[in-house]
Structure 1
Amino acid sequence: MNPTDVHALVGAYALDAVDDLERAAFERHIAECAACRTEVDELRETAARLADGTWSVPPPRLRGEVMAAIGRTRQLPPPDAVPGSGRSGRGRWRRYSVAAAAAVVLAAGTGATVYAIQDQRVRDQSAIASAAELRQQRTQAILSAADLVVRTEPMDGGGRVTVASSAAQGASVVSIRADRAPGAGRAFQMWTIRGTGNPVSPGVLDPGEQSAVRVVDGVPGNDVFAVSLEPAGGSAQPTTVVAEVPLT
């Protein structure tokens, strides 16, 4: 990443609006750049002051007024809640009992179904969280590697591709940030190129996805990392290359 790009991250870093790759590169930079450290401190102080007026404490009397209003409000029973006298009253009471029993049975069945759905959702969310944690650990391992090398190149049409590679980890963290999203039915596709061999695709972004950060294994050792614009689902070979990042 060249010095101009690093300095441009001051505002985004102060507001925590950078991805892991950009954060690692910028923190390495400010360790040696006093001007950027000072600017970050000033921006954070300004943001904190601006946030001071965005909330207020409720007046102390509010709780008392609400509780008093509750105490003054009479709760009326529903119509026909009190069984009437005579045959019609007993029939109505019997209907209420049957309806109540049916409601209990229905509630029990519904409760079991809801529990099963919620239990499955909890398991799904747990699996998603575990996978995300593993990706985060892998990302941090690469970005904290002693041999990390960060390279960045612009994208045709605006944006940039940044590749942070670690030969020791055998992988790279790739950041793709386009100024404009691909058109309908189009997607960005990643490629690694070694010598005169055919490009190999390590993955395709979702259709219409404008920015993404991916951990890509096997990037170190290649000569070029490229991004192309392809039909949704990807192509066998790159057709419209929008960025090339030299790796050597």
Structure 2
Amino acid sequence: MTAELHTLTGAYAVDAVPEEEAAAFKRHLRGCPACGQEVRELREAAARLGAALATPPPPRLREATLTEVAHTRQWPPLVAVARRDGPVKTRIALWGAAAAAVGALVFGLVTTTTDPGTDPAQRQLASVNAVLTAPDASTAKSAERGNTTVVTSHGKGKIVVLAGDLPPLAPGKAYQVWLIGKSGVHSAGLLAPDGPHRTRPVLADLPGGIDRVGITAEPAGGSPAPTVPAVVMVDLV
């Protein structure tokens, strides 16, 4: 299999790959446990993002949708596809489709708009989604307990930490995420609960020279620097 197939995990995870290429990638998954694991983690992340923002549809949504469908053309005219675009533009189109698909999961088809607007939670989830579906997104996973996944995008200058199944904390304690590298130790923020054994994604700026991500149990308000050994450590390189 070509190295290019390894870049399809994000698009495949949200069903944004053309049928022929999806079939080739599915065959690739049978012999590539790393890609299989990454697809499962990205699907879980997309589902968690969608659930986090799901809201009941307004009562008149169905009526308004059917009214709009009645006078909206469903398919564009069939035209010949120019072949000069080449693989680069094709890949850009695939990632654009992936971003749109994850966006649909995040905001559901249960809201009347996909515009994050001024809602801080919606803007945060949209920013997380942009990193998860970035063309240069790179995924690393913890080798020990915690089932923590870290996604970085140097193009976006951002990092997303998806932590799950961490040990329960004593009262007055919180998990804090640290970005570690040649430039020092930087706090990426606290992990907020998102149900039993789950936490919300942590989104932070990506400093230069970062090669590890650690999670420690700190006082509830957080610490300026780690005070105890890391519960989880993820190597990025």
User: What is the TM-score of this pair, normalised by structure 2?
Assistant: 0.48
User: What is the TM-score of this pair, normalised by structure 1?
Assistant: 0.46
